[in-house]
Amino acid sequence: MLDKRTVLIGAATAACALGIGFLMQPAAVGDSATGLAQISAQQRMPSDPALASQLEIEKITLTSRQELPPVGGGESDVAAQNQTQDQASATTSAGTACRMQASAKALPGAMVALTILARCRAGERVTLHHQGMMVTETLEDSGSLSLTVPALASSAIFIIEPTMVPKALRLRTAPAGGAVVQVAVPDMAQVDRVVLQWSGNSGFEVHAREFGAQYGERGHVWHGADPARGAGEMIQLGDRAQLSPRLAEVYSFRRDTAAADGVIEISVEAEVTEINCGREIAAQSLRFSQGRVQTRDLVLEMPDCTATGDFLVLNNLVEHLKITAK
Is there a single domain that holds both residue 141 and residue 275?
Answer: no
What is the structure's pLDDT at 293? 81
Which H or E run contains 12? helix 10-13
How many helices and strands (H and E) does the chain possess? 3, 19
Note whether residue 219 is domain-resident.
yes
Residue 162 dihedral angles phi and psi, to the nearest 5°: -80, 170
What is the structure's pLDDT at 78? 53
CATH of the domain at 151: 2.60.40
Give the count of beta carbons closer than 10 Å to the beta carbon of residue 143: 17
What is the structure's pLDDT at 76? 55
Give me the half-sphere count of Cα atoms (radius 13 Å) on the Cβ side of residue 123. Answer: 1
Give the count of beta carbons closer than 10 Å to the beta carbon of residue 259: 8
Note whether residue 103 is domain-resident.
yes
What is d(CA 231, CA 260) in angstroms, rounded to the nearest whole number?
A: 9
Note whether residue 302 is domain-resident.
yes
Note whether residue 89 is domain-resident.
no
Domain count, the chain: 2
pLDDT in tens, the chain (326 residues): 444 454 444 433 444 333 333 333 333 334 433 344 344 444 444 444 444 444 343 443 333 344 444 544 555 555 556 565 555 454 444 555 578 999 999 999 999 999 999 888 889 999 999 999 999 999 999 999 999 999 999 999 999 998 764 444 444 444 457 899 999 999 998 999 999 999 988 889 999 999 989 999 999 999 999 988 888 999 999 999 998 899 999 999 988 765 667 889 999 999 999 989 999 999 999 988 777 788 899 898 999 999 999 999 887 777 778 877 65
3-class secondary-structure state, position 91: helix
Burial of residue 201, with CB atoms counted within 10 A of its CB: 0-12 exposed, 13-18 middle, 19 or more buried = middle
Which H or E run contains 162? strand 155-162
217 contacts: CB under 8 Å, gap ≥ 6: none
Is there a single domain that holds both residue 141 and residue 218?
Answer: no
What is the structure's pLDDT at 120? 85
**Do you know the residue count of the chain?**
326
Domain final position from 123, 157, 184:
184
What is the structure's pLDDT at 323? 78
User: Which pTM value belongs to this model?
Assistant: 0.70
What is d(CA 302, CA 300) in angstroms, rounded to the nearest whole number?
A: 6
End-to-end CA separation in angstroms for the chain? 35
Domain final position from 165, 184, 203:
184
Is there a single domain that holds both residue 49 and residue 135?
Answer: yes
**Which range of residues forms the domain containing residue 172?**
33-60+99-184
